[in-house]
Structures are given as C-alpha cells and as structure tokens.
Amino acid sequence: MKKCVVLLSGGLDSSTMCALATSEGREVHALTINYNQRNVWELNAAREVARVNHVAEHLVFPIDLTLFGGSALTDASVELDKDVSLEDIGKSIPSSYVPARNTIFLSLALGFAETRDASEIWLGVNQLDYSGYPDCRPEYIEAYKKMAKLATKAGVEGRPLEIRTPLLLLSKSEIISLGLSLGVDYSITRTCYDLDENGLSCGRCEACLLRKKGFEEAGAPDPTPYRN
Amino acid sequence: MKKCVVLLSGGLDSSTMCALATSEGREVHALTINYNQRNVWELNAAREVARVNHVAEHLVFPIDLTLFGGSALTDASVELDKDVSLEDIGKSIPSSYVPARNTIFLSLALGFAETRDASEIWLGVNQLDYSGYPDCRPEYIEAYKKMAKLATKAGVEGRPLEIRTPLLLLSKSEIISLGLSLGVDYSITRTCYDLDENGLSCGRCEACLLRKKGFEEAGAPDPTPYRN
C-alpha cells in the first residue's frame, strides 16, 4: 500500500483530494497546518474529513504565522477583501494571500513524508480559480518538485518524493463533480475566509463566491451552511 | 539600506554570516528557528550573537519538529553518532540529519522576508564540511533559488528574493579566519550536537570535531567551552 501525505485544510479542494487518495488505495497520512489562521473552525472541518475518510494518521501541526503577519488571514490589521465580484478574482493578488504559505506547507509535508516513509505528497492547489496566488501556478509547482527531489535523504537514496497536484487544472465545478462521484459530503467542508464562531460561511468573500459558482456550474445543490 | 533575513542558529557558520551581513551594511532581520531541538542552549547563543551584532530585529520562531521526529536532534529514540572519526564524516548521512530541515527553514525565511520587505535571505550552509546532508549541496541550493523566485507576491511584482550562501564553498578554517577578521567572538557561539545544561560542548560529536579542526587549521586558539 503506497503511503502518501495529504495536505488537508478542511476546504473543498483538499477534502476532495483526500477522498481521491483514499479511493486510489493510498495509506493517507493527513497533515493539517494550524497556522493560527483567522478561522480556527476550518480545523474542525479537517478533523471531520480525516475521520470520515478513515485516514491512517491525522497530524494537526501548529505553526504561528501571525508572528510574520502580512495577510488578512494572519494579521488583524489587514482587512479582508469584502464584496468582491467574480469578475475581479485573479486580477490581482488578494489580501488573503499568506506570504510563502504553500512553500511553507509543502516543506512541512516534505519533512513529515520523509519521517513516515511516504512516497507522495498530495497538494490541492488549483490554478484556474486562484490565479492571483503566485504559489498556485503550475510553473511554481514544477520548480518545487525539482527542488524537493534534491532536498531529502530519501531522494539521495533513490526514493525521491513525488508531489501530486491532481486538481491543478480542474475547474471548481469539475472538482465538485469528482468529489460527488466519490461520495464527498461537502456540508462538512469549509472554504470561507470569514467563518463565524458557529462555522457558518459569509457567502460574500472570494472563496465563498467561487464555491457557490462551482456548485451552480456542477448542477448540484450547495450544502454549505451560510449565515445569511 | 538593503534589508536581509539571516537564518541564525547561533552556531559558528551562521554567526560568522551575521557579522558578514552587518559588515556589508545590511539591515539584518535575524530569524532563529526553535524547532524543539535537543539542545535549547543554542537559542541563547543565537540571542547573544544577535545582540552583539545590533540587528534590527531578532525573531525566535517556534516550530515543533519533534512532532515529526526521525532525527537524533528531534527524536529521543534516535541515538546521536558518537565517537565518530573525522575520516568518516561525509561518507553517509548522519543521524543528526533532520528531515527537510533546510527546506523548512528557508521556507519560513521566505515568508518572514516577504512580510519585512527584505530583498535577501542569507543561509550559512557549507557543502565541504557537511557533504552528508542533501540539503547543503550546491545543486539543492540552486533548485531552491529557482523555486523561490516563483513563490512570492514580491517575486511576481518584480522583486524576487535573492538567496545568498556566502559560506557555501569555504572550508571551516576559512570561515573562522573570515569571522576573526570581522571581530567575531566565537566563545559565544555553539556548534555541539550534545551541549550540556551549562552550554558546554562535548568535544566528540562530528560538529565538535569539525569545529576543533577548523580552529587548528586557521591557526587560532579554540575559545569553545568544553566540558572535558
């Protein structure tokens, strides 16, 4: 049984990917990064997704990125972009951009994978919807893969870690259709940047807008609990 | 004044590099990673080095790599290589190898640098002495640099972060000679993998052996406080 590390945020993309890895017969070691983000509720979502997928291991790894700040998700003084329109998404880098987040998360996954003797890291990046994030672009991912091959003892010994990004070129609706075919219960996943204390989504931030549009385009009812 | 992030462990190499960055007129933002390593005493050394160099900022960033384990430095069940001989160093990857450590540290430095609007990251890797570590090799560093150029908002906006490794091709004695010419006080730096509670070095681990040899070859007295 091939072992893989799944970077699991508890959002729509990574939850779909977790189900995909499970359905493809992987032994899943889920890694959730608690980076002291604005909404801790998404950690609950990650735990629930890990549970329903019967993963071999789920590690919630704490790392306090508010010590760096510089993002609406990690710095109370930075405002979230509110009332964005779908047309504007991807035109500039949003205030929700967390400096070097994917690089930090992938690097932690690399260390975790090596200690678990896993041969793959699965990352749920998706370039179409998040073209505004530099670290979701295919050219970034390719460069990371090359670096990762040289970074570890496992790599030197002929067991380089493979980084898989099965959602990279899919649209949000394609991801949702894939997930529904795998039986994913999207009511337990969370995407919103501005969840309230009950885990209810705002319905207005860019993440909510893209998620809503995805369900519409997939022709599926949106089970997300919204607060209005 | 150019801003740079210096990854500062408090060891001989990074302490020399911190003095070099200071002497070259950089505004130094020192980043020390407290990864819950075996010897917390090296954090004191880092604080002292930051203080004597009058750095603009010194952040000690906690990240618990014992949650991953897999190294003699982060896992109490893994034994340190003891009584190694100088001849054997570099022939295999030692038990002090921490999975993906440099990749994780550089990635944190990348996020820190971006939020501080720094244009450089200085890393004190040194391939000659640590040829056993995959993430100290020049080909690894080159691959990391390429990835880093694509990873950040600053890079997308035409301000890619430069990663500098001024010690990469120097021998330990050349590093010591450089540091002495810059007035580095090596009695406050720590290198040993097995420091005792008073900050005294063992004199027997591979890090101590290389440091001792470096002072011998540089023709300088070794000011390291040893316990025997």
Residue in A11, A33, A206 with CA at minimum distance from that of residue A104: A33
Buried b (16+ CB within 10 A) or exposed e, B23-44: eeebebbbbbbebebbbebbbe
User: pLDDT tens-digit profile of B39-82?
Assistant: 778 899 999 999 999 999 999 999 999 999 888 888 888 887 77
Residue A155 has pLDDT above 90, yes or no: no
User: pLDDT tens-digit profile of A77-100?
Assistant: 888 777 777 777 767 777 888 889
What's the pLDDT at B99? 87
Local confidence band at A180 (pLDDT 50, 70, 90 cut-offs): very high
What's the pLDDT at A130? 60
Q: Is B175 exposed, middle or buried (0-12, 13-18, 19+ CB in 10 A)?
A: buried
CATH of span A3-218: 3.40.50.620
B109 CB neighbour count, 10 Å cutoff:
28
Residue spans of the domains in chain A: they are 3-218
B3-66+102-191 is classed CATH 2.60.120.920: no
Structure tokens at B205: 């681990």
CB contact under 8 A, A61 and B69: no
What's the pLDDT at B115? 93
The answer for B 1-40 residues in CB contact with A (under 8 A) is: none
Region B89-106: mean pLDDT is 84
DSSP letter at A227 equals -
Residue B132 has pLDDT above 80, yes or no: no
DSSP letter at B10 equals S
Q: Is residue B70 within 8 Å of residue B42, measured between CB atoms?
A: no
Average model confidence (pLDDT) across chain A: 90
Coil vs helix vs strand at B136: helix
User: Which positions ≥6 away from B152 have C-beta within 8 Å?
Assistant: A99, A100, A134, A135, B110, B114, B160, B161
Q: What share of chain A is helix, strand, coil (3-state, %, to 5)?
A: 40, 10, 45
What's the pLDDT at B160? 84
User: Which positions ≥6 away from A30 have C-beta within 8 Å?
Assistant: A5, A6, A8, A18, A46, A49, A50, A53, A55, A57, A58, A59
- The reply to whether A106 touches chain B by the CB within 8 Å rule is yes
Residue identified by tokens 């950690």 is A43
Q: Is residue A52 within 8 Å of residue A166, measured between CB atoms?
A: no
What's the pLDDT at B131? 59
- The reply to whether A87 touches chain B by the CB within 8 Å rule is no
**Does residue B173 or residue A131 have the better pLDDT?**
B173
Residue B113 has pLDDT above 90, yes or no: yes
- The reply to whether A139 touches chain B by the CB within 8 Å rule is yes
Q: What DSSP element (H or E) covers A33?
A: strand A27-34
Residue A197 has pLDDT above 90, yes or no: no
What torsion do the CA atoms of A110, A116, A117, A121 make, to the nearest 10 degrees?
Answer: -40
- The reply to whether A144 touches chain B by the CB within 8 Å rule is yes
Q: What is the pTM of this model?
A: 0.92
C-alpha B65/C-alpha B71 separation (Å) is 9
CB contact under 8 A, B147 and A152: no
Q: Is residue B147 within 8 Å of residue B39, measured between CB atoms?
A: no
> In chain A, what residues touch B93 (CB-CB under 8 Å)?
153, 156
User: pLDDT tens-digit profile of A52-79?
Assistant: 999 999 999 999 999 998 888 888 888 8
Residue identified by tokens 């406080």 is B225
CA distance A69 to chain B (A): 7
Residue B181 has pLDDT above 90, yes or no: yes
Q: Is residue B143 within 8 Å of residue A146, measured between CB atoms?
A: yes
CB contact under 8 A, B107 and A104: yes
Q: Is residue B67 within 8 Å of residue B37, measured between CB atoms?
A: no
Q: Which phi and psi (to 5°) does residue B122 adopt?
A: -105, 130
CA distance A59 to chain B (A): 8
**Does residue B153 or residue A128 have the better pLDDT?**
B153
What torsion do the CA atoms of B97, B103, B109, B114 make, to the nearest 10 degrees?
Answer: 180
What's the pLDDT at A168? 92
Local confidence band at B130 (pLDDT 50, 70, 90 cut-offs): low
User: pLDDT tens-digit profile of A101-144?
Assistant: 999 999 999 999 999 999 999 999 987 766 578 888 889 999 99
CA distance B140 to chain A (A): 5
C-alpha A171/C-alpha A139 separation (Å) is 18
> In chain B, what residues touch A111 (CB-CB under 8 Å)?
65, 68, 70, 98-101, 103-104
Region B27-31: mean pLDDT is 98
Residue B22 has pLDDT above 80, yes or no: yes
C-alpha B117/C-alpha B103 separation (Å) is 21
CA distance B154 to chain A (A): 9
- The reply to whether A52 touches chain B by the CB within 8 Å rule is no
Residue B92 has pLDDT above 90, yes or no: no
What's the pLDDT at A216? 97
Residue B38 has pLDDT above 80, yes or no: no
Q: Is A154 exposed, middle or buried (0-12, 13-18, 19+ CB in 10 A)?
A: buried
Region A29-44: mean pLDDT is 89
C-alpha B190/C-alpha B38 separation (Å) is 13
Q: What DSSP element (H or E) covers B21?
A: helix B12-23
C-alpha A211/C-alpha A31 separation (Å) is 23
Local confidence band at B142 (pLDDT 50, 70, 90 cut-offs): very high
User: pLDDT tens-digit profile of B198-212?
Assistant: 889 999 888 899 999
Q: Which amino acid is at B227?
A: R
Percent of chain B scoring above 70 in pLDDT: 98
DSSP letter at B113 equals H
Residue B129 has pLDDT above 70, yes or no: no
Residue B141 has pLDDT above 90, yes or no: yes
Residue A150 has pLDDT above 80, yes or no: yes
Residue length of chain B: 228
In this complex, which of A69, A137, A152 lies closest to B100 when CB atoms are compared?
A152
C-alpha A120/C-alpha A161 separation (Å) is 5
Chain A residue with Cα closest to B104: A107
